[in-house]
Amino acid sequence: MSREAIRQRYLEINGDHPMTAEDDAYVTRQFRVLDELCAEQGRDADEVRRLMLAEKLPMPGYLRSDGAEMVPADLFALADQAEDLRAWFVAQWADVAEGTEEWGAYLSGQYVCLHSVTPATIQRKGQLIEAIKSATDPAELKSLVDELDALEPEFTAYDRLRFGGPVSRDVYITPFRSATSAVSATTSSVTAN
């Protein structure tokens, strides 16, 4: 399958938004070029593209401004462990409809919000967000935010464009970090006086 078919499908999923030099640098640090990853692992990149278009592997998470298809380093980890990846993936949820919906999200390549995309990390992210929303104890809240922070990368300005606004880090991590820093600074100032 051609790179052009991947590019067209990627644009259908994500829209056509420009990648800046900062976006490209971030993506290069966090992801791998598909052709290079395939060469290292002895895989045929065109066959991988065919599997992506056939909805058997996730699409690239990003297309760098030079056209490079950027994928996670562990792109093949789940596929290598399950003969029927779709069936295995969906079975990781108690609710088949939810599992099927998450399978579609996984295939889109848009799970760039996790360092490692597995059913367990997808579910844990959702659990953490719900717990953060309802947490009232500051120590518990800090622990939850710390755990979510460890699961998520930084994101790029491009992500905010394609997702149409703030990303989960902007809503569930950064504000709590800012509030904690402000409280710490105030406490330090009071203690110093």
Asked if residue 177 belongs to a domain, the reply is yes
Report yes or no on 103 lying in a domain: yes
> Would you say residue 93 lies in a domain?
yes
- The pLDDT of residue 181 is 54
- 51-79: per-residue pLDDT in tens? 999 999 999 999 999 999 999 999 999 99
Q: Is residue 74 part of a domain?
A: yes
* Average pLDDT across the chain, whole number: 92
Token code pair at residue 178: 């800012």
Q: How confident is the model at residue 91 (pLDDT cuts 50, 70, 90)?
A: very high
Residue-wise pLDDT for 142-173, tens only, equals: 999 999 999 999 999 999 999 999 999 999 99
**3-class SS at 57?**
coil
Using DSSP's 3-state secondary structure scheme, residue 47 falls into helix
Is residue 191's pLDDT more than 80?
no
Structural domain total, the chain: 1
In a domain, 193, yes or no: no
Where in the sequence is the domain holding 15, given as residue range(s)?
3-184
pLDDT of 119 strictly over 70: yes
Amino acid identity of residue 181, one-letter, is: S
Separation CA 145–CA 177 (nearest Å): 8
